[in-house]
């Protein structure tokens, strides 16, 4: 009987869960460069709250947690809480400046609704959208 030998194939690169526009990447790099501590990344997530049910979260990260989804885009490291990954797949983060405000904005294909004030959204996880 002959032995079957297998050679591991190189894996196809996974698409990034979240991407940044140039404006957002530049603003994050600027914020991180001027931070009081040596943060390693920007942590992005989703939490329950607001009138539409969910809110996006941003925080500085001092460490990378073992289960974090790590995304490198345009010179910025983004960490995504594992519970938020399915809610954020395919999202683009932009940074917009208007006459009245400057803010980060999510363009998330998984959003199904947003409140009138723009502070909260309703998001269906990517797996649930794909099942329809």
Distance of alpha carbon 62 from alpha carbon 37, whole angstroms: 8
Q: Residue 100: is its pLDDT beyond 60? A: yes
Residue 20 CB-half CA count within 13 A:
21
Q: Residue 4: is its pLDDT beyond 70? A: no
Instruction: Share the mean pLDDT of the chain.
Output: 84
* Residue 92 DSSP SS3: strand
Predicted TM-score (pTM) of the model is 0.78
Question: For the chain, how far is it from start to end, CA to CA, in angstroms?
Answer: 48
Residue 14 CB-half CA count within 13 A:
9
State pLDDT tens for residues 62-75. Answer: 999 999 999 999 99
Could you tell me the pLDDT band of residue 111, with boundaries at 50, 70 and 90? confident
Could you tell me the pLDDT band of residue 127, with boundaries at 50, 70 and 90? low
Of the candidates 71, 80, 14, 16, which has an alpha carbon nearest to the alpha carbon of residue 46?
A: 80
Distance of alpha carbon 22 from alpha carbon 74, whole angstroms: 7
Q: Residue 132: is its pLDDT beyond 50? A: no
Of the candidates 76, 45, 43, which has an alpha carbon nearest to the alpha carbon of residue 61?
A: 43
Distance of alpha carbon 75 from alpha carbon 27, whole angstroms: 11
């Amino acid at each position: 009987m002959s032995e079957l030998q297998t050679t591991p194939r190189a894996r196809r690169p996974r698409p990034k869960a979240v991407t940044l526009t140039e404006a957002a990447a530049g603003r994050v790099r600027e914020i991180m460069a001027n931070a009081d501590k040596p943060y390693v990344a920007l942590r992005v997530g989703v939490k329950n709250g607001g009138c539409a049910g969910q809110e996006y979260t941003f925080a500085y990260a001092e460490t990378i947690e073992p289960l974090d989804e790590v995304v490198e885009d345009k010179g910025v490291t983004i960490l995504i809480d594992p519970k938020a990954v399915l809610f954020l797949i395919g999202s683009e983060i932009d940074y917009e400046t208007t006459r009245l405000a400057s803010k980060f904005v999510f363009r998330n294909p998984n959003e199904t609704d947003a409140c009138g004030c723009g502070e909260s959204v309703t998001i269906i996880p990517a797996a649930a959208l794909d099942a329809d």
